[in-house]
Chain A
Amino acid sequence: MQAVKRRGWRRALDGGLVLLVPAIVLETLVLFLPLVYVAYRSLYDWQPGSVSTFIGFKNYEHLLADPEFWQVIGNQLFYLLGLPLWVIAPLVVAFALREGVWRPGLFRSIYFLPAVMSPAIVGLVFRTLLATDGPVNAVLETSGLGFLAHPWLTDITYVKPVVIFLVLWASFGTGVLIFSAAFAAVPQNIFEAARLDGARFWSEFWHIAVPSVRGTVFLWAMFQLVCIFLFMFGWIYVLTGGGPGLSSATMDFFIYQQFMRFGFYGTAAAQSIALVGAIVLFPALGYGARALIETCFKRRRT
């Protein structure tokens, strides 16, 4: 038994694992080691270039006692509300475009364009468009829709939903592309069968299309989930600077501010570890939820 096991292990090493070694080494060097280092430094009053003192979990205690930290966590949870939109919108469009459109190349270029543009540039464009004196409000006012003009990025009520929509705009093209690829792998005549069975657009979408690509849907949702915690910085930095107040700040932006702007290195390290925790926790909850749903589903059928 032992021998067999070892042979399996050796085979894995000779086969796939060997090919993974460069990736593992790189990831370790640029990702895991710095992470471990940050974890280690989060236990210090970290002073790069000077003397750091070990202070145990003080940084974490301060963090947990800081109402600003909890406000930022609250913002993150609010952004999570965008998740269904970020998943369903590209899914619906990919589904609608499934049967082909006029000039598909042009269409793809248009909706994929935001995905290849840097968030900083897109952010700048939208910051200009949505400014109080910006073109969007100007158009609304000159067309007699002045009551719809809002300080989009500087009002506590609007800023988070606006950010959610802008992130939708940016991630939409990639989502459509991924879901289009997923739909392309589904035999087309199950959709035809559904049409013959009397499914209309939405019933076909919910009963046939979504279950057919549910693996991809879940994967995309998890990817977006991680993005909410990991890749919002560019948007927030350019669009709102975390404001008004702290109302649009994300954890990554908050960490940036603590570290780069204020030089609170130790607190920033502790927050980074909290962020890593969130990035592990939320997708884990996602996987847990899926497992739960699937077991319930199976039980119901039998």
Chain B
Amino acid sequence: MSNLKISKLHKHFGAVDVLKDINLDIRTGEFVVFVGPSGCGKSTLLRCISGLEAASSGSIEIDGQVIDDVEPAQRGIAMVFQNYALYPHMDVFGNMAFSLKMQGLAKDEIRRKVEAAAEKLQLTPYLDRLPAQLSGGQRQRVAIGRAIVRDPKVFLFDEPLSNLDAALRVRMRMEIAQLKLQLPNTTMIYVTHDQVEAMTMAQRIVVLKDGRVEQVGTPLELYERPQSQFVAGFIGSPRMNFFTGRHAEKFKAHTVGVRAEHLDIVSAGGVWSGKVVYSENLGADTFIYADIGAEAPVVVRQPGKSVFAAGAEIALAPKAQEYHLFDEAGRPVPK
């Protein structure tokens, strides 16, 4: 069991409110991703859960027990840091064994646990190396191994992949997903600013903005039913197109949002029309950027290898019901 309950959590640094009234329920074994732009408070929230940062008010419970005054090490939590935070003067074995040593476990038990974790993470050949002698991916695995040996109830990842190159990031993403499968009862909380990571890894996503929870939901819920214009714009790639002013008149809303993949290029009955500025052919899809007289070009995603020359006139229309309406404050409006 490792249910995590956060109630009315506030955190301020001096006069700056970083977290405002956070309420969250995270269930045993869930993989939850905190996502949001930088400065939204997602890392601070993670640090409050870990105990490295004390909340200004509110409380955090694990399995019904309030842990606000519990030492970080006693919370049953392990954390993987963005820059790994490996102890540079200890070899891999020492890094992974440190928490067990602090718990006062017997030497052979420590050895057994560390070797098991190393086996799981394919680190066995590197046990006597120093962190400086490892590649980025190997260091990342040591950081994870250091967390695993403690057998934590809650596993925290603080942007663990942002220091890796693109190819390695995809591989590590997969490895973390596999790790989750091996540890079905461990709750994992993963912080990222990359919505692709969020969408691909999360069972549930918590979108944060300016210290508030904007929306909580599964990736598909967020994609299909964003509860705000911000979430609509943040989740999904390419970014959702927003039409305002005269471009939204026909829908009787302040803003109309349509995802690139939900726009059709039509010959007649188009809602919007404009000129092609540029098009990108990605093989499976083509992205077409069109100027309809709004601030930003509209992005349209077409399957296959459609060809549109720059300057060509096109008309656009949303697929039936595949659009979202928002009022002036960014709140959703029923269609």
Which residue numbers of A lie inside 8 Å of B, CB to CB? 187, 189-190, 192-200, 203, 207-208, 211-212, 214, 301-302
Provide the residues of chain B in CB contact with A198, threshold 8 Å: 73-74, 99, 102-103
21 examples of A-B residue contacts, CB within 8 angstroms: A187-B83, A187-B85, A190-B85, A190-B88, A192-B85, A193-B85, A194-B98, A195-B52, A196-B72, A196-B79, A197-B73, A197-B98, A197-B99, A198-B74, A198-B102, A198-B103, A200-B102, A211-B90, A212-B87, A212-B88, A302-B128
CB A196 to nearest CB in B, in angstroms, measures: 5
Lowest 4 CB-CB distances: which A-B pairs, in order? A198-B73, A197-B99, A198-B102, A211-B89
Complex Cα spacing A193 to B78, Å = 9
Q: What separation, in Å, do the CA atoms of A211 and B90 have in the docked complex?
A: 9
Output the least CB separation between A205 and chain B (Å): 13
Asked if B99 and A208 make an inter-chain contact with CB atoms under 8 angstroms apart, the answer reads: no
Which DSSP category, helix, strand, loop or mixed, fits chain A's interface? Answer: helix
Say yes or no for B50: interface residue by CB 8 A criterion: yes
Per-residue 0/1 for B71-98: is the Cβ within 8 Å of any A Cβ (1 yes, 0 no)?
1111001110111011111110000001
Q: B81 to A192, Cβ gap below 8 A?
A: yes
Distance of A211 Cα from B131 Cα, bound (Å): 14
Bound Cα distance from A195 to B52, whole angstroms: 8
Q: Mark B127-152, 1 if CB is under 8 A from A, else 0.
A: 01000000000000000001000100
Assembled-state Cα–Cα distance A196/B79 (Å): 8
CB <8 Å contact, A301 and B88: no
Q: Chain B contacts of A193 at CB under 8 A?
A: 79, 81, 85-87, 146
CB distance from A183 to the nearest CB of B (A): 14
CA A208 to CA B85, docked complex, whole Å: 11
Of all chain A residues, which has the CB nearest B152? A196
Q: Which residue of B lies closest to A186 (CB)?
A: B88
Query: Contacts A212-B89, A214-B89 known; A195 to B72 CB distance under 8 Å?
Result: yes
> Are A199 and B102 in contact (CB-based, < 8 A)?
yes
CA distance A132 to B150 in the complex (A): 59
Residues from chain A with a CB closer than 8 A to the CB of B98 are 194, 197, 199, 207
Name the residue of chain A whose CB is nearest to the CB of B102.
A198
Rounded to whole angstroms, the CA-CA distance of A211 and B52 in the bound complex is 22
Q: Which of A192, A200, A211, A302: most chain B CB closer than 10 A?
A: A192
On whether the beta carbons of A196 and B52 are closer than 8 Å, the reply is yes
Residues of A within 8 Å of B88, CB to CB, are 190, 212
Contact B52 A192 (CB under 8 A): yes
CA distance A200 to B71 in the complex (A): 10
Residues of B within 8 A of A302 (CB): 128
Chain A, residue nearest B75 (CB): A196
A196 touches B77 (CB 8 A): yes
Name the residue in A193, A199, A301 with the highest tally of chain B Cβ atoms < 10 Å from its Cβ.
Answer: A193
Using CB atoms, name the residue of chain B closest to A207.
B98
Per-position 1/0 for B149-187, Cβ under 8 A of A: 010000000000000000000000000000000000000
Q: Which residues of A contact B90 (CB under 8 A)?
A: 211
Contact, CB under 8 Å: A190 / B86: yes
Q: Out of B71, B86, B102, B128, which one reaches A301, CB within 8 Å?
A: B128
Q: With A192-B52, A197-B99 given, can you name 19 additional A-B contacts, CB distance below 8 Å? A: A189-B85, A190-B86, A192-B85, A193-B87, A194-B87, A195-B71, A196-B50, A196-B78, A196-B79, A197-B146, A198-B102, A199-B73, A199-B98, A199-B102, A211-B87, A211-B90, A301-B91, A301-B128, A302-B128
Q: Which chain B residues border A197 with CB–CB below 8 Å?
A: 73, 98-99, 102, 146, 150
**CA gap between A196 and B78 in the complex, in Å:** 7
Chain A residues near B128: list those with CB within 8 A.
Answer: 301-302
Q: State how many angstroms separate the Cβ of A199 from the closest Cβ of chain B.
A: 6
Chain A residues in 8 Å Cβ range of B86: 190, 193
Contacts of A190 in B (CB 8 A): 85-88
